[in-house]
Amino acid sequence: MSTILLEHVSRWYRNVVAVNDVSMTIGPGVTGLLGPNGAGKSTLIAMMSGFLAPSTGTVTLDGEPLWRNESVYRKIGLVPEREALFDYLTGRQFVVANAELHGLPDPGAAAQASIALVEMSDAQDRAISTYSKGMRQRIKMASSLVHDPAVLLLDEPFNGMDPRQRMHLMELLRTMGAEGRTVLFSSHILEEVEQVARQIEVVVAGRHAASGDFGAIRRLMTDRPNRFVLRTGDDRTMASVLLADASVRGARLRPEGGVEVEASDFGRFSEVLPRMARDHGIRLLEVSPTDESLESVFAYLVSA
């Protein structure tokens, strides 16, 4: 069981602050690091993996510093975001090399087990240059798991994966977490994170905006006024029916057509809307959120 501890960590590049006074504890189980692009997730992971020194504060793994300390890599498996690999090697050569660099007693066997775990056995003898994005991601996983690390750090691991590969990786991460490993992965997609992570840490603009289990984060993100534009067969009736429900805070007819709705309880609203439309014989032509962009969700979180 390993724990990564960040205490009042800040990191700036010249006069740009990438991470601002972040303190968090990453313990066993799967933790999701959630935030929009450019929020400082990669900077945090770089500091947690010993590839960046914090400008102030400390980052430790089980009490040991991570910066300039090569011995910590016995415990850490790192899956970097960048796709570049040793393209001129085959998948098997690459994973075996990683096993050798860790000084494992039987690198060949460790590599085979790791490659099988990510379901790359069939393609292991092909050059990495011929791999698809998802295959690269999986061989990167295999290389980081080869020494059975207690800590697994993954930077945007689901990028570029198709749904099936995504499901498989999610399952793998869940298993790793259930085995008592400390697994941390970053993502900018809430749905991705809440499917895997027990614990979610949200970073926005370099700051630690929220922390909790997925239920708490979900509530934070959804218990806020949501705006939608509806196009229906009968806008005026729809608006009046909606106003009668407790989940709706306001409804307005737009001059150009359609109804603008502000819902205070998103969960309830999404359930009652289709029912009300059906009960009143109104056709729903379109339901589109107006401020559903992730940035607005995060902006709301920061102001909360």
Partner 1 sequence: MSVAFSTTVARIGVHSVFGRRRGVLLFVLPAVLLGLSLLVRLLVGEEERAAQHTLYGLGLVVVVPLVALLATTGLLAPEIDDGSIAYLLAKPISRYTIVASKLAVASACVVAFAVVPVLVAGLLLRSSDPRFGLGFALGALAGGLAYCALFALLSVLTRHAVVVGLIYLLIWESLLGGLLDGVRWLSVSRWSAAIAEPVAGVSLVDNLGVGYALTATVVVIVLGVWLTGRRLRAFNLTGDE
Element (H, E) at 263: strand 259-263
**Distance of closest approach, residue 89 Cβ to partner 1, in angstroms:** 6
CB of 4 to partner 1, least distance (A): 15
Does 155 sit near partner 1 (CB under 8 A)?
yes
- Quick check: 97 binds partner 1 (CB under 8 A)? yes
Buried b (16+ CB within 10 A) or exposed e, 196-222: bbbbbbbbbbbbbbbbeebeebbebbe
* Sole binder of partner 1 in the list 74, 236, 252, 278 (CB under 8 A): 74
**Residue closer to partner 1, measured from CB, 85 or 229:** 85
For the segment 207-226, give every residue that binds partner 1 (CB under 8 A).
none
Of the candidate residues 1, 25, 64, 88, the single one contacting partner 1 (CB under 8 A) = 88
Tell me if 256 contacts partner 1 by CB under 8 A.
no
Nearer to partner 1 (CB atom), residue 70 or residue 122: 70
Q: Does 89 bind partner 1 (CB under 8 A)?
A: yes
Cα–Cα distance, 7 to 44 (Å, whole number): 12
Q: Reduce the DSSP state of residue 171 to 3 states and report it.
A: helix
Rounded-to-integer distance, Cα 291 and Cα 296, Å: 6
Interface mask (CB under 8 A) for partner 1, residues 110-149, using x and -?
Answer: ---------------------------------x------
12 vs 300 by CB, closer to partner 1: 12
Q: What is the DSSP letter of 90?
A: B
> Which residue type, as a one-letter code, is found at position 129?
S
- Stretch (H or E) spanning 249: strand 248-253
Taking the least distance from each CB to partner 1, the nearer of 202 and 259 is 202
Query: Of 36, 71, 87, 40, nearest to 190 (Cα)?
Result: 36
Rounded CA-CA distance 248/225 in Å is 9
Is residue 100 at the binding interface for partner 1, with CB under 8 A as the rule?
yes
Which part of the chain contacts partner 1 (CB under 8 A), choosing from 21-29, 85-93, 115-123, 293-301? 85-93
Candidate list 14, 63, 68, 256; residue touching partner 1; CB under 8 A: 68
Q: What are φ and ψ of residue 67, in 5° steps?
A: -80, 135
**3-class secondary-structure state, position 63:** coil
Least separation in angstroms between residue 198's CB and partner 1 is: 25
Name which of 145 and 220 has its Cβ closer to partner 1: 145
Q: Is 42 a binder of partner 1 (CB under 8 A)?
A: yes
Tell how far CA 35 is from the center of its chain: 8
Select from 77-85, 213-221, 249-257, 282-290 the region that touches partner 1 (CB under 8 A).
77-85
CA neighbor of 43 nearest in space, from 22, 64, 72? 22
Check: CB of residue 101 under 8 Å from CB of residue 89: no
- Are 126 and 93 a contacting pair, CB within 8 Å? no
Binding stretches for partner 1 (CB under 8 A):
18, 38, 40-43, 46, 49-53, 68, 70-74, 76, 78, 80-82, 84-89, 94, 97-98, 100-103, 143, 155-156
